[in-house]
């Protein structure tokens, strides 16, 4: 591997006091790590240090090689070896090593665009908030069209607790920059969660009085590939439902926040059933697809879902072909 040649003005020495620390958890993503690190080290007008956390990865040796190449080139990158306990524990290990007042999170398969960190730090300081995020564009072989996270899941309005729990304001993980003390005071990421540990932390931060802000400017790029954790719809929906299940008992009956949580749970239940329907359609199982679509309808689905369920009973095979186009992975869920 050829050693990168970061510009001297863009990196600081290992011993310098950084202004912002970057935490990069890495599990089975060594092939992407060099790209992520290069995007970090090209950030201008900031002093930084970088903490790569090897989450007991099967390609740990390769992760070490990538980090070693950057260190030999003078980059302020440190490697932390941890047993495999999941991304939440890996991020917490990186957070524990942070020496800066600001911490930025980047997944190993994503990357930042030039100027991202400076703009996010300006927003943090000028608006006197605790955490900021922005939009990210999708890229990679699994990206079927040019789009962004906020085009598919827009952030809207003020990031209140109700907005976060209802999914109207959802920080994009690889664009989050926050006050280190605020994240530490909240206890970091919950390692008990199988998924959506970031969603749980954002809600907890807002409930504890942290101030959040966002911009729709595209500052990062999210790589889509076959092993993305976020591609596992069942896993992600289960994670969100678990977070909302925890919150529901804390909110008085009749409170507007409780209604927001219940509406979000209903929407997620509907999405879970729609995922089951899509899987059954892909497997060529009209009976399972029909049952799942009726469950979607029971949970507030549209006339399209009801029509699909009826069609699967009357003419199963043609209906499967029709639904595979209308309810495929990229089709609207409503």
What is the pLDDT confidence band of residue 259, given thresholds at 50, 70 and 90? confident
Note whether residue 260 is domain-resident.
yes
Residue 62: its pLDDT value, please? 97
Transcribe 129-186 into DSSP letters. Answer: -SEEEEEEEEESTT--SS-BHHHHS---S---HHHHHTTSS---GGG-EEEHHHHHHT
Residue 201 and residue 92 share a domain? yes
> Do residues 52 and 125 touch, judged by C-beta distance below 8 A?
no
Residue 130: its pLDDT value, please? 96
> Do residues 72 and 143 touch, judged by C-beta distance below 8 A?
no
Which runs of consecutive H residues, i.e. helices, occur in the chain? 30-41, 60-72, 87-97, 116-127, 149-152, 161-165, 180-185, 197-207, 233-247, 256-282, 286-298, 303-314, 316-326
The string of pLDDT tens digits covering residues 203-216 is 999 999 999 999 99
**Domain with 20 in it:** 8-234
Residue 188 and residue 113 share a domain? yes
Helix axes 303-314, 316-326, angle to 10 degrees: 150
Spacing of C-alpha 10 from chain mean position: 27
Residue 218 and residue 256 share a domain? no
Residue corresponding to tokens 């029509």: 307
Please report, for the domain that includes residue 160, its CATH number: 3.90.550.10
Q: Give the C-alpha separation, 123 to 125, whole Å.
A: 6
Residue 188 and residue 49 share a domain? yes
Rg value, the chain, Cα: 22
The string of pLDDT tens digits covering residues 110-142 is 999 999 999 999 999 877 899 999 999 999 876
Residue 269 and residue 230 share a domain? no
Residue 175 and residue 133 share a domain? yes
Note whether residue 2 is domain-resident.
no
Domain count, the chain: 2
Note whether residue 245 is domain-resident.
no
Q: Give the C-alpha separation, 46 to 10, whole Å.
A: 8
Residue 87 and residue 37 share a domain? yes
Partner residues linked to 139 by β-bridges: 223
Q: Give the C-alpha separation, 94 to 23, whole Å.
A: 5
């Amino acid at each position: 591997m050829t050693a990168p040649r970061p510009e001297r003005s863009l990196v600081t020495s290992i011993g310098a006091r950084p202004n912002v620390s970057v935490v990069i958890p890495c599990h089975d993503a060594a092939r992407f790590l060099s790209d992520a690190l290069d995007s970090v080290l090209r950030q201008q007008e900031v002093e930084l240090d970088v903490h790569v956390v090897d989450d007991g990865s099967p390609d740990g040796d390769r992760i070490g090689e990538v980090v070693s190449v950057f260190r030999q080139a003078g980059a302020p990158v440190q490697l932390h070896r941890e047993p495999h306990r999941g991304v939440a524990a890996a991020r917490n290990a990186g957070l524990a090593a942070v020496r800066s007042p600001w911490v930025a999170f980047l997944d190993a398969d994503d990357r930042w665009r030039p100027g991202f960190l400076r703009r996010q730090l300006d927003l943090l300081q000028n608006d006197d908030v605790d955490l900021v995020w922005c939009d990210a564009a999708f890229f990679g072989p699994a990206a079927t069209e040019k789009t962004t996270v906020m085009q598919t899941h827009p952030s809207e309005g003020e990031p209140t607790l109700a907005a976060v729990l209802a999914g109207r304001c959802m920080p994009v993980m690889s664009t989050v920059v926050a006050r280190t003390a605020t994240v530490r005071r909240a206890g970091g990421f919950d390692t008990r969660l199988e998924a959506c540990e970031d969603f749980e932390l954002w809600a907890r931060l807002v409930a504890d009085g942290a101030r959040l802000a966002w911009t729709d400017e595209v500052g990062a790029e999210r790589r889509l590939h076959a092993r993305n954790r976020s591609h596992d719809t069942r896993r992600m929906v289960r994670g969100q439902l678990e977070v909302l299940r925890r919150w529901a008992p804390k909110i008085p009956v009749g409170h507007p926040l409780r209604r927001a949580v219940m509406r979000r749970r209903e929407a997620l239940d509907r999405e879970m059933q729609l995922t089951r329907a899509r899987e059954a359609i892909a497997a060529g199982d009209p009976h399972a697809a029909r049952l799942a679509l009726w469950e979607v309808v029971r949970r507030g689905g549209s006339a399209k879902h009801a029509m699909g369920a009826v069609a699967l009973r009357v003419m199963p095979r043609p209906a499967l072909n029709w639904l595979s186009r209308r309810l495929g992975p990229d089709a609207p869920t409503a």
